[in-house]
Amino acid sequence: MPRHQPFTPVTGAIVERYGPEEEASDLQAGDFILTHGSGLYSNLIRFGQALRFVGVDRKYTYWNHAAIIVDGQGILIEALGNGVCQTNISRYTPVEYHLVRLGTTADDNDREESVRFAQWSRGEKYGWLTIVSIAIGLVTGGRFTFGYEGQVICSGLVARAMERTKAIFNRNAEDMMPADLAKYYQVEPPVGTSKDTLRQRSVA
């Protein structure tokens, strides 16, 4: 999708917040989660987001990780430092996360296609070069970017899966960051959350 197209939020999804030790139920394949951490990868994502999101949009930088749910038992596919792998949503029980239920933005076929793509992506390397490309693109105003096939970042993986649904993005999915997903799906951060709170709740 050309970058000059206007931003349009995705409508029809349902967002639910789960605090530490709270567990989501009735999970559906194709939904995804947004969370945050303070590890190396998370800090790199946060740095890039701080360059892109300013003003009223700065709130979306609260999130710096995303993962897609691929079955009703909470199995996740996510891009971590060691690459795209399978985990479980229980990994995030000790911290806060937001669950984005696709609702009317996806039918059963859309969900199946999204999950199929995510599972196909298992084994791909983490997109370090993608992060560098995003940073350079932000500094140069998008005049210079590059990518590397076979590498992916967490939010790029989820965004590319969401392209199999009714969602329409006005930027390249592989370059999207967690804050982009939060803005498109209108995921508001909890009121009164501080940077210190983010560090205390981090697992990444």
Answer whether residue 196 is part of any domain.
no
Count of domains for the chain: 1
**pLDDT tens string 175-190:** 888 999 999 999 999 8
Quick check: helix, strand or coil at residue 86? Answer: strand
* Cα–Cα distance list, 32 to 14, 104, 111, 135, 138 (Å): 11, 14, 11, 25, 26
Residue 95 structural domain? 14-189
This prediction has a pTM of 0.83
pLDDT at residue 50 in the model:
82
Answer whether residue 121 is part of any domain.
yes
Give the separation between CA 180 and CA 155, rounded to whole angstroms. 8
Whether the per-residue pLDDT at 14 is higher than 70: the answer is: yes
Answer whether residue 9 is part of any domain.
no
Mean pLDDT value of segment 47-56: 83
Answer whether residue 8 is part of any domain.
no
The CATH code of the domain that includes 33 is 3.90.1720.10
Whether the per-residue pLDDT at 129 is higher than 90: the answer is: no
Answer whether residue 1 is part of any domain.
no
Which of the four pLDDT bands, split at 50, 70 and 90, describes residue 144? very low
Answer whether residue 202 is part of any domain.
no
**pLDDT tens string 80-101:** 888 999 999 999 999 999 999 9
* Cα–Cα distance list, 124 to 18, 91, 111, 130 (Å): 29, 21, 21, 13
Of 107, 100, 113, 102, whose CA–CA distance to 12 is shortest? 102
Answer whether residue 61 is part of any domain.
yes
Backbone phi, psi, residue 129, to 5°? -65, -30
Answer whether residue 93 is part of any domain.
yes
